Amino acid sequence: MIDLNKYLSENPYPGRGILMGRTVNNRAVVAYFIMGRSGNSRNRIFEYTEDGIRTKAFDESKMTDPSLIIYHPVRLLPNGLLVVTNGDQTDTIAEHIAQGHCYRHALIQRKFEPDGPNWTPRISGVMKPDGSYNLSILKSMDGDPACCCRYFYEYDNPVPGVGHFIHTYQSDGDPLPSFQGEPRAVELGALTEAHELAEPLWDSLNEDNKVSLYVRLIDLNGGGPDSYIINKHS
């Protein structure tokens, strides 16, 4: 397992990242962050909605193109599933689950983002009420947009103290290289409040490129959830 904060501090641009797992004291963990290199991408904040969070322009007058950067990253569904993604596939997953399908059925309909030459991967996670979770990534085949590769990772009995982390880019570059390999296994200690994870995680992200972070802890012993948001633009 890796130390996630060290892993991120050594990477100037992992892009957008999803963490899911279980702490040693039986809290389910969900984290999602966004980064940006352009002024348009950096001009964003997270804000709470009735069923999760959304991205929003910090300064509406400076927003030049909302496509691909304004969406609902997190939605809590009526059946208790928590969906986290880096794009509007959050809504695709929610719609298909409402129709009786699963998240895989939804993501078969989608592919990586149409932002060549980067072809940004779509990463998604689904946390179940019992703390088990799924992660996925849809990406081009080695930068070739003619082929979409879809990978699904399912963790049906999470080990306490272990999480899994997936992100969009290996690191900075031009074009940006897509994430490679399986989700990284990371250490998760004992946590009782979301800020205990959020603050060191935020500090580990590149100061110039980080934009917003969301963390949610769910007490699997019945104590309820705790959520925390950090925005670079407060």
Distance CA 20, CA 128 (A): 11
Our CA dihedral for 190, 193, 195, 200, rounded to 10 degrees, sits at: 0
* pTM greater than 0.85: yes
Residue 113 has pLDDT above 90, yes or no: yes
Nearest alpha carbon to residue 170 among 179, 158, 181, 157: 179
Nearest alpha carbon to residue 13 among 154, 156, 132, 173: 173
pLDDT of residue 234: 83
pLDDT of residue 207: 98
Both structure tokens of 174: 């031009």
Residue 122 has pLDDT above 90, yes or no: yes
Q: Is residue 139 very low, low, confident or very high in pLDDT (cuts 50, 70, 90)?
A: very high
Average pLDDT, the chain: 97
pLDDT of residue 10: 98
pLDDT of residue 231: 98
Q: Is residue 223 very low, low, confident or very high in pLDDT (cuts 50, 70, 90)?
A: confident
- Give the CA radius of gyration of the chain: 16
Distance linking the first and last C-alpha atoms of the chain: 33
The DSSP bridge partners found for residue 52 are: 49, 75
pLDDT of residue 67: 93
Distance CA 164, CA 234 (A): 29
Question: ∠ CA(206), CA(9), CA(124), 5° rounding?
Answer: 80
Mean pLDDT for the stretch of residues 37-66: 96
Q: Which residues in 63-97 are b (16+ Cβ under 10 Å) and which e?
A: beeeeebebbbbbbeeeebbbbbbbbbbebbbebb
Coil/strand/helix, residue 56: strand
The DSSP bridge partners found for residue 35 are: 210
Q: Which residue type, as a one-letter code, is found at position 226?
A: D
Q: What percent of the chain has pLDDT over 70?
A: 100
Residue 165 has pLDDT above 90, yes or no: yes
Q: What percent of the chain has pLDDT over 90?
A: 98
Our CA dihedral for 25, 27, 28, 32, rounded to 10 degrees, sits at: -110
pLDDT of residue 157: 92
Q: Is there a contact between 117 and 145 (Cβ–Cβ < 8 Å)?
A: no
Residue 97 has pLDDT above 90, yes or no: yes
The DSSP bridge partners found for residue 32 are: 18, 214
pLDDT of residue 119: 98
